[in-house]
Chain A
Amino acid sequence: MDQQNQQHNHDHQPIGYARYILLWFGLIALTGTTVAIAGIHLGKWVIITSLTIASIKSLLVLNVFMHLKFEDRIFRIFVLVALATLIVFIVLTFFDYAFY
């Protein structure tokens, strides 16, 4: 009964304040980096670097803030399926615009 009563997270190591604050510093640093890179006119590379940095930031938010890293594996599988679906949409759309 006690186990049912407890939040599931208690089975795992709960994240402390320090780790979240550290992640926040990392995210702010990445934001600074992406703004700085955009400032040096890399032409078409700006879109690639800024989307790469945005993806890294999102992965950090997903894994730590949204706790994905510490949840059951089924959560990660769900997220991967959802992201894969979106990528299929994007690739199929670009068949009509980019690869003809």
Chain B
Amino acid sequence: MISAAENIHIHRDDVGTKIGMWLFLFTELILFGGMFIVYAVYRFKFPAEFQLAAMELDTFIGTVNTIILLTSSLTIALSIVAIQQGRKYLSVLLIFSTILLAILFLVNKYYEWGHKISVGIYPQSEELLKKPQGEIIYFGLYYVMTGLHALHVVIGIVVLMIMGILVARGKIKQDAYVRLEAGGLYWHLVDIIWIFLFPLFYLIT
């Protein structure tokens, strides 16, 4: 009797959940993929101007942000191991470390954009419009692509906060953690996009 009743309540398809998450990630891939194509075409048309414009970016801050995101990918992956082992508080701690690293990433981004804007390089600024066309396009792409990526970081923070609360409340637990896995997949995708943004904008000098 009890077992039959439980069978009615437990209606779960973890593989299906994860496939659904991956399908969503593919739409993200095409979204950013389209932008990478725009980048590739203009880089092909204005190679020298792209290289010159990329010198304006601070490679150090880009490298630091890369390390921050890679580390946050590690902490979210470890939080899943922790919940698999039933170590709830370790899992919550790791999820909130991930969120802290994500916020640190955004703080760096804030100072980086802030510095660019303070020296007059932002879309439609007088300073920027004086530059050659290739550089204007480079900075346009820089703001749009890193901006959209930063928006994904913000969404990731919200998603991970919800996951952290669900783990803390015991809704995500040792034998049911597929939601945390789906949240982790999203976070790793944000990391992968940055893995490509970093060399394309910071390292092509």
Which residues of A line the B interface, CB within 8 A?
1, 4-9, 14-17, 20-21, 23-24, 27-28, 31, 34-35, 38, 44, 46-47, 50-51, 53-54, 57-58, 61-62, 64-67, 71-72, 74-75, 78-79, 82-83, 85-86, 89-90, 93-94, 97-98
Contact = CB atoms under 8 A, between A and B. Distances in A.
A28 B63 contact: no
Contacts of B63: 31, 35
Interface in B148-205: 175-178, 181, 184-185, 188-189, 191-192, 195-196, 198-200, 203-205
Nearest to B176: A7
Contacts of B33: 86, 89-90
A89 B40 CA distance: 12
A16 to B, nearest CB: 7
Interface residues of B, number: 54
Contacts, number: 135
Contact of A50 (B40, B178, B204): B204
Contact of A20 (B36, B67, B78, B204): B78
Classify the secondary structure of A's interface with B: helix
B22 interface: yes
B203 A35 contact: yes
Given A50-B203, A82-B29, A74 B19 contact: yes
Given A54-B195, A66-B188, A97-B41, A20 B77 contact: yes
Contacts of B116: none
B74 A21 contact: yes
A78 B22 contact: yes
Interface stretch (B10-18, B106-114, B119-127, B133-141): B10-18
